[in-house]
Every structure is written in structure tokens, then in C-alpha cells.
Amino acid sequence: MNELHIEVIRMKQNGISLKFNYLIQVGVAVTLASSFNVWLVISGSDIGFVKYIITAVLSFLVSEIFVRVLSPVKYIVNSLIWKSKESKQSVYAFWIFVYLKGRINHSTQLYMINELFIPDKYLRCPMKNLSYEEIRLELRRVEILTEIVMFILYSCISFAIYRTSNMPFYLIPLAGMAIDIANSNIEMEIFRGKFTKLRDSKYFEYYVIRERLLADYNDEEAIKRFLELEAENFEDRERIHERISIWSRIVVGKALNRETLTEEMKFLLERKYLEVVWELFVTHETLNLLNLYIAYAVVVGETNTEKVALNILNRWKSQDIGAKLKAKFEASEQAFGGDKTKLEDLRLRAGEFYEEFADCRNDVDEVKMACIK
């Protein structure tokens, strides 16, 4: 009970842990399975443990699928609400796709339908005009209103099913919504649900900056403010994945523009993320950032920066690491050591969040091709 009480308090302050989220999903599956098995008993059918487990798994999967099937409806509702406020959503996520700038592409992140997206009006205006607390509160009101509308819709569907079927299929839409709300409140290192982000007042500005750079990697105002935040939070290790992702986008943008990073940028990037990687526990993402940094140096022609980055790479390789990660280090070393074949095979990622968008992946591919030439 004490652990549950602590989890509830933590959830109010931050979000639902992955472990607690799994417990919620297991609880939903057990509830559905129990309901169906009660119906089977009443119908005179034999039940057993295997049948119970199969029912739990199938009903849970149907609930998950149901939410994804209706995800376009949810974003239509959300869009209509923003339209009434003379704005529009910048990104749409539905089924297993994301929509940005007139393009639809597949998303590998199953939680994208629970991501927080910032409306267009906050991405185009000068940053000095932004009040982040007002933005956060307005976004929360809109998202809550969207969930209320969807709850009414789910309830109507459940009622319609209840009136037309003797089996407890009517529970599936409500179970699906419970899972969807839990996922929107989840808190993991690599992903935070939209309601978790909306409670994150201290770091909310990072999410706005991240999406402004998604819309335009040349957004100098966003980059300038990001650097100020990085200097202020230099010793802070919170939201590391989001920050590494933003750095990846900035480095790629500078390489595409053939512009050099400022000395302040290099200092923050090298000292905070590249030289102290073992203290951050995000080695795969940081290795990708280092690869992008080396590629940038090659494309822009910064020989000294390239040497510094390669020295960091060499130091990493000498650490006591797993065989899989060490193989990645060695592949990077060979790729940037002059082996064009290895460089062609080296996978460069746009970073967490940005990797889900085709435009961002194309930007990284363009940098890689420039590096090969």
C-alpha cells in the first residue's frame, strides 16, 4: 500500500512509471477477460486457465487496436478545437503514421499518438512574445476538452454495442480509452506522454523549442534560447534525451547550411554530452550525436573540430563496454577514418522524436552524402 501511495503522489507530480503503466494494462486485460469468462459461464461454456489467458490477451489487443482505429477522429476533434481558437495543429499522429507539412510517413514510435504537439501559432511567432505558462495551461485545457469529447464518443459506442450484443464487447472501447489515458500520462527516459509534459512546467520550454526546430532548423531564436537554457542547466541531467535530440537537429542544420557552430555551442556540446558520456547513461544516442558532430566537421571543413571529435571517439572505444556497443564505436572509427564503404553503411539517425519524420531523416541523409563526397 505504501508503494502504491508513493506512486500516486509521484504520478500527480510527474507521470506514470513504465512499471505502473504495465500494471494498469494488466488490470485492464484481467477485467476484460473476467467479464468475458463470466459470460461464458452463464452461457454454459467450460473455461480454463489457458482460455482465460487467451481471452485476456485478445481483448487487450482489440482495445489497443480500437484506440488506434479512432486516433484520426481524436485529432480531428483536437484540430477543430484549435481552429475555433484561430490556430491549427503543427503535426498529426494517427494509426502508425505522422503527418507534417503535407507528408504522411510511417512512425516506429508506437507512443506517437500520445505525444504532445504544439499548435502552429506558437511556432511562428517571435519567442520573446511567448508566455510558456499560458501556453502550457491553454494546451492542457484543449487536451482535457479533447479527452472529454472522446470519452463521450467512446461511451456512445459502448452503449450502442451493449444494446446490440449480449457479449461484453461494450467494455472494449472504455478499456481502450483507459489504456490511452495511461499512455498519455506515462513517464520514461525516452518518452513522456502529453499530460506528463504538460505537468512539466520546469522543462516545458524544451518541448516548445524542440518542435520549433522541427518546423524550421534555421530558427535562430529557438537555438539562442536553447543555448541559454543549456548554460543555466549545465549540471542538470534531466530531460537528457530531449536535449540530445535538439542538439542533433542543430548540428544537422549547421552542416546543411555549411555554417560553423559557435565556440559556446562546441563547449556545451563537447563538455556536457560527449566527454562525460559515461555519466549520462545514454551511450547509443550520444554516439549518434558524436557521429553527426564528426560528419558536420567534415562537411563544414573544421579540421580541428574533427580531430577533437575523433579523439573523443577513440577514448570511448577504450572503455569497458559491451561487445555490441564496442562494434558500433569501431564501425564509426572506420567510417570516419577514410573507409567510404563503411561510411555508406554507417547509420546516422536524426535523434529521438525527429527520427519519426521523413524530412528530418532526409536532412541527415543529405549530410551523410555530403560527407561521403
Calculate mean pLDDT across residues 95-111: 84
The C-alpha atoms of residue 61 and residue 55 are separated, in whole angstroms, by 10
The mean of the pLDDT values for the chain is 87
The set of residues, in sequence order, having a beta carbon less than 8 Å from that of 157 and lying 6+ positions away, is 173
Domain boundaries, the chain: 1-201, 204-372
Residue with cell 477477460: 33
Angle at 15 between CA 288 and CA 22, to 5 degrees: 85
Query: Helix or strand or coil: residue 48?
Result: coil
pLDDT at 343: 87
- Which of 90-104, 207-221, 327-341: highest mean pLDDT? 207-221
pLDDT band for 17, please (50, 70, 90 cuts): confident
**Confidence (pLDDT) at 337:** 82
Position 111 confidence tier, pLDDT thresholds 50, 70, 90? confident
Per residue in 211-244, pLDDT tens?
999 999 999 999 999 999 999 988 888 888 899 9
Q: Report the 10 Å Cβ neighbour count for 89.
A: 18
Distances (CA, A) of 65 to 180, 249, 313, 322, 365: 11, 33, 43, 37, 33
- pLDDT at position 138 over 90: yes
Question: What is the pLDDT averaged over residues 154-163?
Answer: 94
Is the pLDDT at 10 greater than 70? The verdict is no
Examine the pLDDT at 277 and tell me if it is beyond 90. Answer: no
Residue with cell 556545451: 268
Mean pLDDT within 152-162: 94
Predicted local confidence at residue 31, as pLDDT: 86
For the record, the C-alpha cell of 223 comes out as: 537555438
155 burial via Cβ count (<10 Å: 0-12, 13-18, 19+): middle
Mean pLDDT to the nearest integer, 244-249 = 95
- Grid coordinates 525516452 are at which residue? 190
d(CA 305, CA 26): 50
Whether 8 has a pLDDT exceeding 50, the answer reads: no
Give this prediction's pTM.
0.88
Helix (H) or strand (E) holding 105: strand 103-106
Highest mean pLDDT among 46-50, 286-290, 341-345: 286-290
Span 64-76, average pLDDT: 90
- Does residue 4 surpass a pLDDT of 50? no
- Residue 46 grid cell: 467450460
* pLDDT score recorded for residue 325: 75
Coil, strand or helix at 24: helix
* Mean pLDDT of all residues in 310-319: 80
Look at the alpha carbons of 67, 73, 79, 84 in this order and tell me if their dihedral is positive or negative: negative
Mean pLDDT to the nearest integer, 298-312: 92
Closest CA to 331 of 350, 308, 348, 351: 348
What does the alpha-carbon distance between residue 119 and residue 261 come to, in Å, rounded to a whole number?
A: 29
